[in-house]
Structure 1
Amino acid sequence: MGTTEAVPGCDEHCASEGSVRKSHHSEKTKNNLVTRLNRIEGQIRGIKGLIEKDTYCDDVITQISATQAALNSVAKLLLEGHMKSCVVERIQEGDHEVVDELLVTIQRLMKK
């Protein structure tokens, strides 16, 4: 996961469509996130295979740790893009409730 790419953000803002909020990431950002998630999916399958083959526990734990770090990386990219676009725009529109929402999101991420 060591690639450094442009910070993902919303092309537009994270908009509400009816009662469903959506983000509008660029195709490049979506592709980057999907690629990372596909890699993580492969890591999960690999961990399952290690367990099925009775691989030494410490080796399995090392792979789990790497997978968790990869997921955290995806979450950080999403959070950064969210803060730089959706949150800023909502604050500019006078919607300060977004700060409480952001704090809950950060608390969820920090539990991991």
Structure 2
Amino acid sequence: MSEADEACCSTDGERHSHHSAKVKDNLVSRLNRIEGQIRGVKGMIERDTYCDDVLNQIAAIQSALNGVGKVLLEGHMKSCVTERLAQGDKEVIDELLKTMSKLMK
């Protein structure tokens, strides 16, 4: 079972995500590293670091954020989307397409 298989969103009127402790720890760890990278880029700007070096760090941050998004999207599709489709809720497809469009900008 992958990390994403362990996620589940409820549809009880309030939307929640229910990630296992393992998935949550993984996501929080990734986000903590990204947060550190962002602070590093801020310091690079303050130190007048060569622009290409800063841009490379920004690319690394974007890639790391995409990784977090991929884990969340996979879990969402394998749990929330499939559950809602099984319940006959076709609106979830439009919601998913809208979200994916935002992620791909």
* TM-score using structure 1 length: 0.87
1:10 CA drift (Å): 4.3
**Separation of aligned partners in 2, 1:80 and 1:104:** 15
Which AA in structure 2 matches 1:45?
Answer: R
1:106 CA drift (Å): 0.6
Residue matched to 1:69: 63
C-alpha RMSD of the superposition: 1.5
Query: How many residues of Structure 1 are paired with residues of Structure 2 in the alignment?
Result: 105
Residue matched to 1:7: 3
Which AA in structure 1 matches 2:47?
Answer: K
Q: Call closer, same or farther: CA 1:71–1:102 in 2, change over 3 Å.
A: same
C-alpha distance after superposition, 1:46-86 (max 9, x if no partner): 00000011100000000000000000110011001100011
**Separation of aligned partners in 2, 1:38 and 1:85:** 26
* TM-score using structure 2 length: 0.93
**1:94 aligned to 2:88?**
yes
1:9 CA drift (Å): 3.6
Q: Is the CA contact (8 Å cut-off) linking 2:4 and 2:78 kept in structure 1?
A: no
Partner SS, residue 89 of structure 2: coil
**Normalized per residue, which structure has more helix?**
2
Q: Is the CA contact (8 Å cut-off) linking 2:85 and 2:92 kept in structure 1?
A: yes
Which segments of 5 or more consecutive residues in structure 2 lack a partner in the other structure? none
